[in-house]
Amino acid sequence: MKTKLIRVNDQHIDASLMREAGNIIKEGGLVAFPTETVYGLGGDALNPLSSEKIYRAKGRPSDNPLIVHIADMDDLGVIVREIPENAEKLAKTFWPGPLTMIFQKSNRVPYETTGGLDTVAVRMPMHPVARELIRAAGGFIAAPSANRSGRPSPTLAKYVTEDMDGRIDMIIDSGDVEIGLESTIVDLTTEEPTILRPGYITKQMLEEVLHEVEEDKTMMRADTGQAPKAPGMKYRHYAPKGDMTLVSGDAGRVAEYINEQIDFFKKQNKKTGVIGTDDNIAVYRADICKSVGKADDEKMIARKLYSVLREMDDEDVEIIYAESFGTSGIGQAIMNRLLKAAGHKVISV
Ligand code: AMP
Ligand code: MG
């Protein structure tokens, strides 16, 4: 399959290009497109064949449910059985935006889209190109991140091309994304609203609207002995090819420990890498040292994290050490992704 690459300026959206992209999705094809979180791989959410195509293009197991993207609040009622009051409140505050909510699904949503579940995940993104595309495609786009399964989510169109060229119909390039980490997911089908995946919208922000919000216990830990609530969470996502370890503790000690390890692996002729911050990156002795920005600029770290992980792959780094970060604000989402990338391998020094 030949993949058509188009550029769309999000300030001046070319309506005829969006119609062309929307028609591809209406006819059962796949289009990768930008959102404010990461690039998504879109197909018609109400067409079971489209969802199967998405799984095939990603190489993703088909019991890992997709998120349905809408552009208008009126469309929510088509795909969910009921809209709980809490969901309405959250939608008023955070939609359009980087928040996904889980509802009971209506009969219009095929099980192929929800990975066999009776619930459906729904998000209304804010990115103008995403919104135009959703409308042009008929209102309901199923879209996971536009990466091959097991690779970091794409924050630039060139990463989508790396993973998807020849596998999908079209890629829409609108430059870099704003947030860089996937949406916050909140389950509203449980007694208490429960965060299944942390993101830019934090627990604290949600609690300003809903009083109390629970967190899924497996979110930040691997050793709870509990099965993850969200089916997709059992898969090892966002992993670089190299063997990655997180190191936490006092900054000076962290740098010292990482350098000792780097020296050890270099002697074994392993290619080594470090993911750190501007504050420390110059002290590391690894072959490849990448900074995700200033240690106190969490938004920048979120935006750069996945491209740094990909660069480690591009350089074929075999052993990766990463500094760990604070968990306030979006820091929790950053650590959640890093913990997954490292398979929960953390050393405290
Ligand atoms: P993404 O990888 O960004 O496409 O997000 C998809 C993830 O959303 C899945 O891996 C699940 O963790 C979560 N998800 C989607 N639908 C549901 C659902 N119905 N119930 C629980 N989690 C869901
Ligand atoms: Mg993903």
pTM (2 decimals)? 0.94
| pLDDT value at 103 more than 80 | yes
Give the residue among 26, 37, 22, 152 at the shortest CA–CA distance from 100: 37
| pLDDT value at 57 more than 70 | yes
pLDDT at residue 229, as a whole number: 58
Of 3.40.50.11030, 3.60.15.10, 3.90.1010.10, 3.90.1150.10, which CATH number belongs to 243-348? Answer: 3.40.50.11030
| pLDDT value at 237 more than 70 | no
- At 179-218, the pLDDT tens digits run 999 999 999 999 899 999 999 999 999 999 998 999 988 7
Q: Is 126 in the pocket of ligand 1 (CB under 6 A)?
A: no
Tell which atom from ligand 1 comes closest to the C-alpha of 38. Answer: 3
Confidence band for 151, pLDDT divided at 50, 70 and 90: confident
| Percent of the chain scoring above 90 in pLDDT | 87
| pLDDT value at 228 more than 70 | no
Confidence band for 149, pLDDT divided at 50, 70 and 90: confident
pLDDT at residue 225, as a whole number: 60
Q: What does the pLDDT average to over 224-237?
A: 57
pLDDT at residue 329, as a whole number: 87
| pLDDT value at 63 more than 90 | no
The count of C-alpha atoms lying within 13 angstroms of the C-alpha of 139, restricted to the half-sphere facing its C-beta, is 11
Which tokens is 285 given? 């002795």
Give the residue among 243, 191, 187 at the shortest CA–CA distance from 218: 187
Tell which atom from ligand 1 comes closest to the C-alpha of 229. Answer: 21
Using an 8 Å Cβ cutoff, are 51 and 66 in contact?
A: yes
| pLDDT value at 234 more than 70 | no
Confidence band for 64, pLDDT divided at 50, 70 and 90: confident
Q: Is 145 in the pocket of ligand 1 (CB under 6 A)?
A: yes
Beta bridge partners of 288: 273
Q: What is the distance in A from the centroid of ligand 2 to the CA of 145?
A: 4
| Alpha carbons 314 and 323: distance in angstroms, whole number | 20
Every domain of the chain and the residues it spans? 4-215, 243-348
pLDDT at residue 60, as a whole number: 81
Confidence band for 230, pLDDT divided at 50, 70 and 90: low
Classify strands 288-291 and 272-276 as parallel, antiparallel or unpaired: parallel
pLDDT at residue 218, as a whole number: 76
Q: What is the distance in A from the centroid of ligand 1 to the CA of 32?
A: 18
Confidence band for 315, pLDDT divided at 50, 70 and 90: very high
Confidence band for 73, pLDDT divided at 50, 70 and 90: very high
b/e code 154-187 from CB counts within 10 Å (16+ = b):
bbbbebbbbbbeebbbbbbbbeebbbbbbbbbbb
Q: What is the distance in A from the centroid of ligand 2 to the CA of 48?
A: 19
| pLDDT value at 54 more than 90 | yes
- At 266-308, the pLDDT tens digits run 999 999 999 999 999 999 999 999 999 999 999 999 999 999 9
Question: Which range (136-150, 223-237, 245-259) has the least confidence?
Answer: 223-237
Tell which atom from ligand 1 comes closest to the C-alpha of 232. Answer: 10
- At 209-225, the pLDDT tens digits run 998 999 988 777 776 66
Q: Is 232 in the pocket of ligand 1 (CB under 6 A)?
A: yes
Q: List the CATH code of the domain at 4-215.
A: 3.90.870.10
Q: What is the distance in A from the centroid of ligand 1 to the CA of 67?
A: 6
Question: Which range (16-25, 53-62, 175-184) has the least confidence?
Answer: 53-62
Q: What does the pLDDT average to over 116-141?
A: 98
pLDDT at residue 223, as a whole number: 65
Confidence band for 231, pLDDT divided at 50, 70 and 90: low
Which tokens is 181 given? 């980490």
Share the mean pLDDT of the chain: 94
